[in-house]
Amino acid sequence: MVLDSNNHSVFSLNYHLVLVVKYRKKVFNDEKSNYAKDIFERIGSNYNISLIEWHHDKDHVHILFKAHP
């Protein structure tokens, strides 16, 4: 197991985030999912967040990422 560290701690924080569209409307396609993924990666780099997995369906997105506390 690979652990991350900073000055005073050692950690491994993995988050599973599911974003669901209101009323489960079918709005996600490959183009919109890739656009959201690019924004997530760009913003995440400022906060020490690294994307592990990204999967989408028509009405929700599954995101698995690592982050620093």
The residue ranges of every structural domain in the chain are: 14-67
Arithmetic mean of pLDDT over the chain: 94
pLDDT recorded at residue 69 = 85
What percentage of residues in the chain have a pLDDT greater than 90?
Answer: 84
pLDDT recorded at residue 1 = 79
Options 3.40.50.620, 3.40.50.150, 3.30.70.1290, 1.10.3720.10; which CATH number does 14-67 get? Answer: 3.30.70.1290
Q: Name the residue with higher pLDDT: 68 or 54.
A: 54
Q: Are 34 and 5 in contact (CB under 8 A)?
A: no
Q: Which of 35, 60, 33, 38 is nearest to 51 (CA)?
A: 38
Is the pTM for the entire model greater than 0.75? yes
How much is the average pLDDT of 57-61? Answer: 95
